[in-house]
A and B are shown apart, each in its own frame.
Chain A
């Protein structure tokens, strides 16, 4: 079993990953505004502790299914940041050769089944992967938002997984809004009771606190790994940006964003490091500057990569 404790070395590594995700998303935003990222893109800023906390208790052979807000999930699982950025830039060196773009990335080499552009698709993908994993000691993790709990996928797959006792962890990242709509307005009865009604064991956790997410994830994943059937986790988090690049998030009540920013998962993790874990401020700053330097390198390399050549793609794998 993965230890649920968080010693300073590991905490610093996880903080590095969260910084990488935040810095990556900041660069995606600015590249988007410069016309280098096309179509649309959905940023993970504010939710970093969720993907990083869960990934920290997963191991080789586990599989995750991500949402269209998937850059954070991918980076947390080990997807190469340069390949990921190149994919968003539509370049040949992208993780899917420029065929996928932001919403549709698949990276099986890092245990990522895919990012699902249809709300709730990740729930089914992880459920199916769990059919393959049955009888072993690996788990499948489905990430999805609060909005997905109104999709048929949620009800059908949680039930399906429970009936077949599949090793799948359903992780609802409740960031408060399904697109532009507050989840309270469209989710009568709340989220957890829905999973509980199907007799899944449920856990609620503060998604802004890396240590809390990791501790909850470790316990849940361990039980599911041991063959006890699927479980459900609601992680309360917040996105610091709009739904997509075209959404300024004006529907949010005044002051709400500032309130959540006080509990920025990066700030929470940094105070844990410097306070309770006794990591020197210079050490934390060193990690911050290393990540910034890495992202400089990633951005330069991805922007220098060639665009793919149009080629005829065969329809079938023969």
Chain B
């Protein structure tokens, strides 16, 4: 008998207590795919769409439209399809706290912002709909209430002005954190970032810094189509003086964002939209940028990835185990600067390396990792390859998008095929 999953009213922040079902996007009896929009929920801060955690059949709607219930209360029941993986599964792979432990990644981000706004009054936070509405992904509710409109504020839809203002504020004493709603919109904010922010420390001969952070939601798998799903890391990879950070877990999201805000350099902080609901335990530590982490030890092959790809690699490692392949998984966490040492140390042990990048094959950071291991670890190298998305735009339709993205099946299959 397949599992019956109780869907609870999602908890989007600590300050919330209850929420209202605005509209069911699926009805009882409907077949649903993991990641498909299920229900529209309204809180006092924001309206959010909650998605199915697994493939299955929606068996019962417990709460009617317009009804308000406390957080966590059951709102529907889902009969999970045989063999289906649940969205929360990767969290368990890296979070020892288990199924119900910890907080969502979106809340980890909010906590990092909250703590850094508290820690340093030079920190300001702004973006489109981040203050009053609390963010379109419900990441930042309550911050304006706590810190006031001078430090947390909404802006017009003007990405060029926003990044320019962040730069101007950063070189005159503030530590701005800017949210660019979707990473795809970074294209509009590039000039100040590329041509000014990353040059300031150099031009002043090391006397003055430009400490700014741009947070941006990236990645595919959300059925947002070609222009709201991209992974803009490779657009930015060639900019000297710009740090690129992409966490895979709530703990890293919190600790790395705190580090990014305290860093003296411009930092782009990528938040994968498919990881926002991922749960895990978090602490209050400020982590170090530029350090990769071995998240699974193994001896036969090294799988290197970042963000959601880390979870795909962990799942692939589990699939490979019965075939006698013991995979080591490295979460890069920071894409520039790259932690070459951790990768080379792993390669020395396994002699085989696959780099899994959600992003086009050509010109991506996977190629950079392979260049580094070739230059510095050629003697250890028996095999090295990239597993990426094709050199084509991200399709919308669920079967097309699913096939487009690297997943555990493909990673494990590749490893076995090249053995």
Residues of A near B241 (CB, < 8 A) are: 315-316
For A108, the chain B residues whose CB sits under 8 A away are 171, 204, 208
Kindly identify, within residues 126 to 185 of chain A, every residue whose CB is under 8 Å from any CB belonging to chain B: 126-135, 140, 152-153, 156-157, 159-160, 163-164
Evaluate contact between B208 and A100: CB separation under 8 angstroms. no
Closest-by-CB residue of A relative to B164 is A124
Residues of A within 8 A of B163 (CB): 124
Among the stretches A113-121, A189-197, A263-271, the one at the interface with B is A113-121
Question: Which chain B residue lies CB-closest to A127?
Answer: B165
Q: Which residues of B contact A97 (CB under 8 A)?
A: 205
* Interface contact A132-B161, CB-CB below 8 Å: no
Determine if A1 is an interface residue (Cβ-Cβ < 8 Å).
no
B158 touches A156 (CB 8 A): yes
The contact size tier of chain A is 35 or more
In the complex, the answer to whether A132 meets B265 with C-beta atoms within 8 Å is no
Closest CB in chain A relative to B201 CB, distance in Å: 5
* Complex-state Cα separation, A131 to B161, whole angstroms: 12
The one of A140, A316, A317 in contact with B337, judged by C-beta atoms closer than 8 angstroms, is A316
Interface string of B169-199 (1 = CB under 8 A from A): 1111110100000000000000110011001
Residues on B with C-beta less than 8 A from A113 are 168, 171-172
**Tally of B interface residues using CB under 8 Å:** 42
Query: Is A41 at the interface (CB under 8 A from chain B)?
Result: no
Q: Is the C-beta of A63 less than 8 angstroms from some C-beta in chain B?
A: yes
A residues near B200, Cβ cutoff 8 Å: 106, 114
B150, B155, B170, B192: the one within 8 Å of A135 (CB): B150
Alpha-carbon gap, A117 to B199, bound state (A): 12
Hey, which chain B residues are within 8 Å of A133, CB to CB?
172
Query: In this assembly, does A304 line the interface, its C-beta being within 8 Å of a C-beta of chain B?
Result: no
Within 8 A of A (CB), among B265-292: 265
- Kindly list chain B residues whose C-beta atoms are within 8 Å of the C-beta of A153: 160-161, 164
A317 touches B209 (CB 8 A): yes
Contact present for A132 and B173 (CB under 8 Å): yes
Out of A123, A128, A157, which one reaches B169, CB within 8 Å?
Answer: A128
Bound CA–CA A316/B249 (angstroms):
26
Contact with B along A276-318 (1 / 0, CB 8 A): 0000000000000000000000000000000000000101111
Q: Which residues on A are within 8 Å of B, measured CB to CB?
A: 63, 65, 96-97, 99-100, 104-106, 108, 113-114, 116-118, 121, 123-135, 140, 152-153, 156-157, 159-160, 163-164, 313, 315-318
Q: List 20 additional contacts besides A125-B164, A160-B162; criterion CB under 8 Å.
A: A113-B168, A118-B195, A124-B161, A124-B192, A128-B169, A128-B171, A129-B172, A131-B124, A131-B169, A132-B169, A156-B164, A157-B164, A159-B156, A160-B158, A160-B165, A315-B337, A317-B201, A317-B206, A317-B209, A317-B265
